[in-house]
Amino acid sequence: MTGNTIDLGGLSGNGRKRGRSILASAALVMVVSTSTAALAQDAGFNPDASIVVGSLYEPQNLDNTAGAGQGINEAFNGNVYEALFTLTDAGDVAPGLVAEQTVSEDGLTYTFKLRPNVSFHSGDPLTAKDVKHSIERVVAPDSKSSRKKSLATISEIQTPDDQTVVIKLSARSISLPYNLSYVWIVNDAAKDLNASEDGTGPYRLDEWRRGSSLALTRNDKYWGTAPTNGEVVFQYFTDATALNNALLTGAVDVITSVQSPDSIAQFKDNPDFTVTAGQSTTKELLAFNDRIEPFNNVKVRKAIARAIDDKKLLQSIWGEYGTLIGSFVPPTDPWYVDLTAVDAYDVESAKALLKEAGFADGFSFKLDTPNYDPHPIVAQFLQSELAKVGIKVEINVITANEWYTKVYKAHDFQATLQEHVNHRDIVFYGNPDFYWGYNNPEVVDLIKQSEAAANTDEQTAKLTEANRIIAEDAASNWLYLYPQIVVSSSAVTGYPVNGLNSQFFAYNIKKSGN
The 10s digit of each residue's pLDDT in 384-398 is: 999 999 999 999 999
Q: Do 211 and 222 contact (CB within 8 A), yes or no? A: no
Residues 305, 269, single domain; the answer is no
Q: pLDDT grade, residue 492 (50/70/90)?
A: very high
Residue-wise pLDDT tens digits, 407-428: 999 999 999 999 998 888 899 9
Q: Using a cut of 0.75, tell me whether the model's pTM lies above it.
A: yes
Domain that holds residue 275: 203-279+483-511
Length of the chain measured in residues: 514
Distances (CA, A) of 356 to 288, 298, 423, 474: 19, 11, 36, 16
Residues 270, 350, single domain; the answer is no
Number of structural domains in the chain: 3
Sequence-distant (≥ 6) Cβ neighbours of residue 267 within 8 angstroms: 247, 248, 273, 275, 487
Instruction: Indicate whether 474 pLDDT > 80.
Output: yes
Residues 262, 336, single domain; the answer is no
Helices (H) and strands (E) in the chain, counts: 13, 21
Residue-wise pLDDT tens digits, 131-162: 999 999 999 999 988 778 889 999 999 999 99
Rounded CA-CA distance 59/194 in Å is 10
Q: Do 332 and 423 contact (CB within 8 A), yes or no? A: yes
The last residue of a domain, from among 180, 212, 241 = 180
Residues 413, 442, single domain; the answer is yes
Rounded CA-CA distance 393/385 in Å is 10
Count the alpha carbons within 13 Å of 284 in the hemisphere toward its beta carbon.
Answer: 26
Count the alpha carbons within 13 Å of 138 in the hemisphere toward its beta carbon.
Answer: 24
The last residue of a domain, from among 128, 146, 180 = 180
Burial track 264-303 (b if 16+ CB lie within 10 A, e otherwise): beebeeeeebbbeebbbbbbbbbbbbbeeebbebbbbbbb
Q: pLDDT grade, residue 43 (50/70/90)?
A: low
Residue-wise pLDDT tens digits, 175-231: 999 999 999 999 999 999 999 999 999 999 999 999 999 999 999 999 999 999 999
Residues 171, 248, single domain; the answer is no
To which H or E segment does residue 267 belong? helix 261-268
Q: pLDDT grade, residue 240 (50/70/90)?
A: confident
Instruction: Please tell me whether residue 30 adopts helix, strand or coil conformation.
Output: helix
CATH number at residue 468: 3.10.105.10
Residues 74, 137, single domain; the answer is yes
Higher pLDDT, 35 or 128: 128
Q: Do 211 and 58 contact (CB within 8 A), yes or no? A: yes
- pLDDT, averaged across the chain: 89
Q: Do 72 and 64 contact (CB within 8 A), yes or no? A: yes
Sequence-distant (≥ 6) Cβ neighbours of residue 195 within 8 angstroms: 61, 62, 208
CA 297 to chain centre: 31
Residues 273, 315, single domain; the answer is no
Q: Do 436 and 290 contact (CB within 8 A), yes or no? A: yes
Rounded CA-CA distance 493/111 in Å is 38
Sequence-distant (≥ 6) Cβ neighbours of residue 431 within 8 angstroms: 149, 444
Instruction: Indicate whether 26 pLDDT > 90.
Output: no
Rounded CA-CA distance 227/202 in Å is 7
Higher pLDDT, 70 or 493: 493
pLDDT of 480: 96
